[in-house]
Amino acid sequence: MQDNIPRRLLRIDCCAVSDAMDKLGLKDQVASGLAQRATTRRIAGRVVTYRLVAAADAPPAAGAPRHLGTTAIELATAGDVIVVEQRTGIDAGSWGGILTLGAKVKGIAGVVADGPVRDIDEARAYGFPVYCRSLTARTARGRVAEVEVNGAVTIGGVLVNAGDYVIADGSGVAFIPATEAVRVLDAAEAIAAREAAMARALLARQPITQVMGADYEHMLR
């Protein structure tokens, strides 16, 4: 069941998911350099996206202005993860404190931003997980603008579509195509179970060279 995917992801870690995708031949799905900036909690969920460009490159907005990120928050449901592309090179926030509070109130699991995030102290105070490329105090106003919500985004070189799944922890951020989620989870859970058995063997004082022998080296074949 698709509804069970985030719960299953939260029981494992990003490394197990990365290993599972290697095993299944799903390459280039892991984004590095997106640091855990607020809380040390692992997050996992269905992806809701938005993409930012330089304000000078944005088409004229139709209708009443809407602040970046607000549409994504309204579209998201509890447990979703908002994923933001802000690869303009402009030092301007792609996410901020009021957005954090709005997302927290709605039960959104966290945010992953390939770009700068501001108001990080507020995210820490709210206990809201943020993974991002960098931090800034600079506002988005007049610098960057939202051009697309729930379209494809590129995060750390990974193409991510709305409705895909993400898991993020202190090791990294992994994106799982929606069509592959169950297959990846089955493989990741098997890998995690084997590694748990290895940990038990080490605690039972088996030699580490024996525990991490040929079986471990060939585990992803």
Is residue 198 in some structural domain? no
Report the CATH number at residue 178: 3.50.30.40
Query: Is 112 domain-assigned?
Result: yes
Q: Are 123 and 37 in contact (CB under 8 A)?
A: yes
Residue 191 falls inside a structural domain: no
In a domain, 72, yes or no: yes
Res 98: pLDDT: 97
Cβ burial of 197 (10 Å; 0-12, 13-18, 19+) is: exposed
Distances (CA, A) of 166 to 77, 89, 91, 161, 212: 15, 24, 25, 11, 29
Domain assignment present for residue 75? The answer is: yes
Residue 201 lies in a domain: no
Least confident of 20-29, 169-178, 210-219: 210-219
Structural domain harbouring 99: 2-183
Give the mean model confidence (pLDDT) for residues 179-196.
95
Number of domains in the chain: 1
Residue 21 maps to a domain = yes
Please say if the pLDDT value at position 161 is more than 90.
Answer: yes
- What pLDDT was estimated at residue 66? 84
Decide if 200 is inside a domain. Answer: no
